[in-house]
């Protein structure tokens, strides 16, 4: 098939598209679960349909992406930024440069852009002037391996091997669950209800002391990300330290899928220099995930003290996560290339809808 020029395509916001056609496209390329989430909550997820882009040719949708607005703290200054997420090109339109077309549209839109690309996308971003780092880590703590989705859904010889291995390690993971589930916290405790101002006060207390680049955790961002979340009932909030002025907070999400529970440490913030307090609150969140029957716990860590604390608690599985960024400011580009940063699963779209 001959490659068409970019002049044959237009980049538009999705509010210019037929809603039924968009819904059909998203379900086809993302699957029914994520497609239904985008249909019902897309405007919430992206802070409005103006942040959802599609590439169209005539009346046909060829590609899609979204942008999640945030504020990025760099050298004690908050800059407007957007996470570039959910980029997909329909199979029949691949190989025609549509990712490059969207890349150009996103870069020229202004503001700082952030993302977590796969290996192929990272190379494309690099050619277009994005910065790339690979020192962020995904962590996993298996608790009931036979119930883990990755093992249950694995096929062929690999699937049979994984399920056999999962049965072999069941006695070991039973001992791990017993140990983790018996933890008694020092000052860490579960919040009776979400208090956005209290969590934001932890961010305000340590935002300039930690020396890390991170996303804003002010009251508005916490209200959006957690209080108005369509899966608010799955979230658990913890604080540690003095009752009226805590030093740490953690957000845990326990997702039930077809009767199986998996847990995610969505966010952690506070005094990372206080490793005892950090370990205390993370161990409490892990304990509660165990007691709720989670088959696994996932986390994301790029700040060395957070990563080492999670590893010391018992997260044995780690994997590399690529991070990319683009700004018209050379100072911002250099800061993100060299400074420590702190990302969590609540950033970008690592916390999948289900």
Q: Are 228 and 180 in contact (CB under 8 A)?
A: no
Residue 261: strand pairing partners: 256
> Among 258, 296, 311, which Cα is nearest to 144's?
296
> Which residue shows structure tokens 């957690």?
226
The model's pLDDT over 295-319, given as tens digits with 9 standing for 90+, comes to: 999 999 999 999 999 999 999 999 9
Q: What is the pLDDT of residue 3?
A: 46
The model's pLDDT over 71-96, given as tens digits with 9 standing for 90+, comes to: 999 999 999 999 999 999 999 999 89
Residue 244 within any structural domain of the chain? yes
Same domain, 231 and 96: no
Q: What is the mean pLDDT of residues 21-28?
A: 95
Q: What is the mean pLDDT of residues 267-286?
A: 97
| High-pLDDT (> 70) share of the chain, % | 97
Give the tokens for residue 101. Answer: 């077309």
> Among 274, 256, 276, which Cα is nearest to 264's?
256
Same domain, 162 and 95: no
Residue 122 within any structural domain of the chain? no
Q: What is the CATH number of the domain that holds 315?
A: 3.40.630.30
Same domain, 161 and 90: no
Cα–chain center distance at 323: 12
Same domain, 185 and 313: yes
Residue 113 within any structural domain of the chain? no
Q: What is the pLDDT of residue 351?
A: 83
Q: Classify 191 as helix, strand or coil.
A: coil
Same domain, 89 and 149: no
> Which residue shows structure tokens 């570039």?
84
Same domain, 170 and 311: yes
Q: What is the DSSP string of 142-199?
A: ESSGGG-HHHHS--HHHHHHHHHHHHHTHHHHHHHHHHHHT---SS-EE-SS--HHHH
The model's pLDDT over 38-60, given as tens digits with 9 standing for 90+, comes to: 999 999 999 999 999 999 998 89
Indicate if the pLDDT at residue 4 is higher than 60.
Answer: no
Q: What is the mean pLDDT of residues 15-19?
A: 91
Same domain, 98 and 240: no
Q: What is the mean pLDDT of residues 158-163?
A: 90
Q: How many domains does the chain have?
A: 2
pLDDT band, residue 7 (cuts 50/70/90): low
Same domain, 164 and 92: no
The model's pLDDT over 169-190, given as tens digits with 9 standing for 90+, comes to: 889 999 999 999 999 999 999 9
Q: How far is CA 47 from CA 65, 88, 221, 354, in A?
A: 14, 19, 11, 19
This prediction's pTM: 0.93
Q: Are 55 and 63 in contact (CB under 8 A)?
A: yes
Chain-wide mean pLDDT for the chain? 93
Q: What is the pLDDT of residue 1?
A: 33
Residue 350 within any structural domain of the chain? no
Same domain, 239 and 94: no
Strands 10-13 and 52-57: antiparallel
Q: How many C-beta neighbours within 10 Å does residue 191 have?
A: 15
Residues 12 and 67: their CA atoms lie apart, in Å, by 13
Same domain, 102 and 192: no
Domain extent at residue 326? 137-342
Same domain, 22 and 150: no
Residue 80 within any structural domain of the chain? no
Same domain, 183 and 306: yes
Q: What is the pLDDT of residue 166?
A: 87
């Amino acid at each position: 098939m001959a490659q068409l020029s970019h002049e044959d395509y237009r980049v538009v916001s999705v509010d210019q598209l037929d809603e039924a056609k968009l819904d059909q496209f998203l379900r086809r390329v993302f699957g029914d679960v994520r497609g239904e989430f985008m249909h019902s909550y897309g405007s919430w997820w992206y802070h409005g349909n103006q942040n959802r882009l599609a590439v169209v040719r005539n009346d046909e949708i060829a590609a899609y992406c979204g942008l999640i607005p945030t504020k990025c703290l760099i050298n004690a200054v908050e800059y407007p930024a957007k996470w570039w997420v959910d980029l997909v090109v329909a199979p029949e339109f691949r190989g025609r440069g549509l990712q490059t077309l969207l890349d150009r549209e996103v870069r020229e839109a202004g503001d700082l852009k952030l993302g977590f690309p796969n290996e192929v996308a990272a190379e494309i971003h690099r050619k277009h002037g994005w910065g790339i780092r690979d020192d962020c880590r995904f962590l996993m703590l298996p608790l009931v391996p036979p119930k883990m989705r990755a093992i249950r859904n694995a096929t062929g010889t690999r699937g049979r091997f994984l399920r056999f291995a999962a049965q072999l390690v069941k006695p070991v993971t039973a001992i791990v669950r017993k140990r983790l589930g018996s933890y008694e916290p020092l000052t860490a405790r579960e919040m009776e209800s979400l208090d956005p101002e209290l969590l934001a006060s932890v961010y305000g207390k340590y935002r300039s002391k930690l020396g890390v680049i991170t996303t804003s955790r002010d009251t508005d961002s916490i209200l959006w990300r957690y209080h108005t979340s369509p899966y608010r009932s799955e979230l658990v909030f913890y604080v540690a330290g003095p009752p009226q002025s805590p030093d740490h907070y953690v957000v845990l999400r326990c997702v039930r899928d077809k009767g199986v529970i998996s847990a995610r440490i969505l966010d952690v913030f506070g005094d990372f220099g206080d490793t005892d307090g950090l370990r205390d609150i993370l161990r409490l969140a892990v304990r509660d995930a165990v007691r709720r029957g989670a088959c696994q716990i996932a986390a994301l860590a790029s700040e060395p003290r957070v990563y080492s604390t999670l590893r010391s608690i018992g997260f044995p599985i780690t994997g590399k996560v690529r991070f990319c960024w683009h700004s018209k400011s050379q100072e911002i580009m250099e800061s993100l290339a060299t400074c420590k940063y702190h990302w969590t699963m609540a950033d970008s779209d690592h916390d999948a809808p289900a």
